[in-house]
Structure 1
Amino acid sequence: MNYISTRGQMAPIGFQDAVMTGLAPDGGLLLPEQLPNVTEKLDAWSKLSYPELAFEVIRLFATDIPADDLQKLVNDSYAAFDHPEVAPSVAVGEFEILELFHGPTLAFKDVALQFLGNLFEYILEKRGGRLNILGATSGDTGSAAIHGVRGKPAINIFIMHPEGRTSPLQEKQMTSVLDDNVFNLAVDGTFDDCQNIMKTTFGDVGFKTEHSLGSVNSVNWARVLAQTVYYFYAAFKALEKTGAKTVQFSVPTGNFGDILAGYLAQRMGLPISKLILATNENDILSRFFNSGTYGMADVVSTISPSMDIQVASNFERYLYYKAGQDASKLVALMDGFKENGSLSIELNESGAVDDLFVAGRGDTAATMATIKKYHDQCGYVLDPHTAVGVYVAEQFKSADAPTICLATAHPAKFTQAIIDAIGKGVHHPTLDALADVETRCDAIANDVDAVKEYLVGHI
């Protein structure tokens, strides 16, 4: 299985090279040359445990890693989770809640980043050399990435977060990791600013090569690949439970990576009838799927900070498929967006951008009301991001297909929002242990050159 760039200016490369490359040299994102059709495998896969299923899915894409080595990588990655199913589904009201927060940092990012950290270490052991990871986070990616590579030889990790725009616990999960290979940077700006610094730095191919930079953000193909697994796993459980023929997923969405994984699973043959895209006030993606226009706006700070994003990095991968896998068309769209701050797609005959997607917006008031409603009626506490997904899912329920709502983080990570919604907080021992720990973080200007200078000084 080889990988190509969405922008078409790179020769195909293998899986391990794709993992180490992250962002393509031409500024595009990597995708497999073709997606496998797994329809005939679904029945056999439905009987597998989570690690067994992960191995079967990933091996189709990681063809340059021996099967025994890949099996060990997968098993080691999911041994770090505190639930035997890794990603269990829980019936809450009319929905199945897919709990993706049983990893070491209590967020869905662990599902991919525990695997990616081990994968980096494996490749470096085989090839030699060092890797300097540069990442940007709106909340959960940073801590999950740090916990995936902390203490690993031959790897340094530099994580930028927007100063004052993550939850206090999210920030502490990152800044309390004091391993010598971990560096936290508080950027005077938004997450989009952090992401732009990262992409611009990777776009300097000479600098990237000289300093062996790699990516843990969802621009890295391995992140998206690992996330496709839980769509298969949750769908199999819901189909078996209900006897339905198809399922639909509701996904709280910021950077488009999580819902892209579901889109790819559907293209591979998983019977998904609808992907319900849910945004908060930062609604560039829901506006796109309802209007066909993808246009920037100012970032609004909300109680679901991991979704406070206006430029979704993984959206380019979707646009590549929407453009018929024509790199020249994709480049024209992205160039237009860079120049004008917007792009438009022609609606289809049914008046939709894509018949697979529906989209909605849950603002702060709706999020708070949803948290309270499901606590009062079902005894279940949703974190703010999950609550956005559940609120929008209520608008698109189907009699024919069970709705699976992705629970992207443990509610204890968002103490004040939960207290404001239900009158009391929830706790988790992992987070309670952070109360009085030492932290380390460096403030830095919202400037590409400042970040580059910092990297050079600390590598």
Structure 2
Amino acid sequence: MEYISTRGKIGKIGFIEAFMMGLADDGGLLVPSEIPVISEATLKEWQSLSYQELVFAIFSHYTNGEIPEADLKAMIAASYGTFRHPEVTPVRRIRDDLYLLELFHGPTFAFKDIALQFMGQFYSYVANQTGKKIHILGATSGDTGASAIEGVKGKEGIKICILHPTGKVSKVQELQMTTVQDDNVLNLSVEGNFDDCQRMIKELFADLDFKSANHLAAINSINFVRILAQTVYYFYSYFQVSKATGKWEPVNFSVPTGNFGDIFAGYVAKRMGLPVGKLILATNENNILERFIHEGVYMPGDFRMTYSPSMDIQVASNFERYLYYVLDENAAEVERLMNQFKIEGEISIPEGAHLKVQAEFAAHGVGGQECLDTISDYQAKHDYLLDPHTACGVSAADRCSEEGEMTIALATAHPAKFDEAIRLCGIEQKFPAEIRVLFEKPQRQTFVDGKLEDVTKELVQFYNA
């Protein structure tokens, strides 16, 4: 397996090189030169695997043998040994046609742990193997930062800087990032919103001289390894539901979506042969992706703060990867459209491509009151407390799935991370001990204006200290 850029100017490179490059050097995103298709017979054999064994089976199709088998298995064991549930991502039946895939049993109580615990191990492995400095740089709308920091804090040879928008993450998300006292961690609280943070990250990675001089490595979902790690739980949850129902038939997945990474992982799983029906894209009032599914137009609107802050994103990093596939892997056309988007702030896809989008995806934008009503309704009817992002996914599942269709909704975070929204529903919850103690710890973060030069100054000082 080799890796290429969605913009066509990066030749075929290996797995470790793709991991370390992060954002492609031509400004595009790295994708496999081909997506392996797994036979139904093999998929049915995979049904009996543990989560860790399934990670190994899937990654083995992508790593080209660049990582010795024993080393890869050791990284996988270390990555998921910190999870609070033995199945890592257990599946919970809510009703006959709806299951929840619980992705919040990792150390920071969010789905980002699934990929970022592995990536932390992988970065440490590369640092030890090569002796090179690794300076991780990322932006977060809340969960990525905490998970990434948890994955690499205190690790020798690695420094990590995370940008988050000031006042636009939940209090628990902020505390999970800023109470970490390890010297290899820098939190930059940036004036602006997540899109501003993400834009600066992409500009810094696109500056190849700066990227090289500062040994930058990517932790956001621009890194394909993060996408690959997230494909695993689509397979795992399908297998659990199939065993529970005794059926082998297409299943819908409903995914709370901001940066298009998590749902793109489901798209990859489907292309690999997993029997996926509709991929249901759940957004909030920041609904650029819903409009794209419905109209074929990709154009940001006005940024809005919502009860589901991790989805408060207008410009989705992974959209370009899907654009590459829906345009039949035409890298030149992808580059033209992305350049047009940079200049004009809007692109449209041809009618034929839009028909393919609508055949693969459904979408629903969940308003604030609908989100809160869903939390209250599922607590009352099913005695299950949804976090506001999961509530968006469940609401979209209810609206977009046809009668009789089986749907797995991704439960992306523990509700304790978003108590602000839960309290608005008149619900009092008990915080897990790991979250309660955060409120007693001192915070450490650096506040900066939303200007690239101010961020750059902090980065250079931190990385070269």
Name the TM-score, length of structure 2 as normaliser: 0.97
Give me the CA root mean square deviation: 1.2
Q: Contact between 2:327 and 2:353, CA under 8 Å: does it hold in 1?
A: no
Show CA shifts across 1:234-273 (max 9, x none): 0111122221411110000000000000000000100001
Show CA shifts across 1:125-169 (max 9, x none): 111111111100001000000000000000000000000000011
Q: Contact between 1:280 and 1:363, CA under 8 Å: does it hold in 2?
A: yes
Aligned partner (choices 291, 295, 298) of residue 291 of structure 1: 295
Q: In the aligned structure 2, how far is the partner of 1:10 from the partner of 1:353?
A: 26
1:365 aligns with 2:366: no
Q: Contact between 2:30 and 2:224, CA under 8 Å: does it hold in 1?
A: yes
Cα distance change of structure 1 residues 150 and 192 upon mapping to structure 2, 3 Å threshold: same
**Residue number in structure 2 paired with 1:6:** 6
Q: Contact between 2:326 and 2:353, CA under 8 Å: does it hold in 1?
A: no
Q: In the aligned structure 2, how far is the partner of 1:268 from the partner of 1:414?
A: 34
Q: Contact between 2:364 and 2:400, CA under 8 Å: does it hold in 1?
A: no
Counterpart amino acid of residue 224 in structure 1: I
**SS of the counterpart of 1:248?**
strand
1:122 aligns with 2:125: yes
Counterpart amino acid of residue 408 in structure 1: T
Q: Contact between 1:239 and 1:247, CA under 8 Å: does it hold in 2?
A: no
How far does residue 401 in structure 1 lie from its aligned partner after superposition? 3.6
**SS of the counterpart of 1:47?**
coil
Counterparts of 1:41-52 in structure 2 under 5 Å?
Answer: 41-52=42-53
Show CA shifts across 1:181-212 (max 9, x none): 00000000000000000000001000100110
* Regions of 4+ moved over 6 Å: none
**SS of the counterpart of 2:279?**
strand
Counterpart amino acid of residue 344 in structure 2: N
**Residue number in structure 1 paired with 2:56:** 55
Cα distance change of structure 1 residues 79 and 134 upon mapping to structure 2, 3 Å threshold: same
How far does residue 422 in structure 1 lie from its aligned partner after superposition? 3.5
Aligned partner (choices 447, 450, 453) of residue 443 of structure 1: 447
1:143 aligns with 2:136: no
Counterparts of 1:37-436 in structure 2 under 5 Å?
Answer: 37-39=37-39, 40-63=41-64, 64-93=66-95, 94-242=97-245, 243-348=247-352, 353-436=357-440
How far does residue 77 in structure 1 lie from its aligned partner after superposition? 0.4
Q: In the aligned structure 1, how far is the partner of 2:414 from the partner of 2:447?
A: 28
Counterpart amino acid of residue 291 in structure 2: R
How far does residue 425 in structure 1 lie from its aligned partner after superposition? 2.8
Q: Contact between 2:82 and 2:107, CA under 8 Å: does it hold in 1?
A: yes
**SS of the counterpart of 1:382?**
coil
How far does residue 419 in structure 1 lie from its aligned partner after superposition? 1.2
Show CA shifts across 1:60-87 (max 9, x none): 1112111111111111101010100000
Show CA shifts across 1:80-107 (max 9, x none): 1010000001011341000000000000
Show CA shifts across 1:329-349 (max 9, x none): 101111111111111112349
Counterpart amino acid of residue 69 in structure 1: D
Counterpart amino acid of residue 94 in structure 2: V
Q: In the aligned structure 2, how far is the partner of 1:335 from the partner of 1:222?
A: 25
Q: Contact between 2:326 and 2:356, CA under 8 Å: does it hold in 1?
A: no
Q: Contact between 1:250 and 1:277, CA under 8 Å: does it hold in 2?
A: yes
Q: In the aligned structure 1, how far is the partner of 2:232 from the partner of 2:287?
A: 27
Q: In the aligned structure 2, how far is the partner of 1:260 from the partner of 1:400?
A: 25
Q: In the aligned structure 2, how far is the partner of 1:338 from the partner of 1:54?
A: 36
Cα distance change of structure 1 residues 351 and 166 upon mapping to structure 2, 3 Å threshold: same
Structure 2 unmatched runs, 5+:
none
Q: Contact between 1:347 and 1:353, CA under 8 Å: does it hold in 2?
A: no
Counterpart amino acid of residue 363 in structure 1: G
Structure 1 unmatched runs, 5+:
none
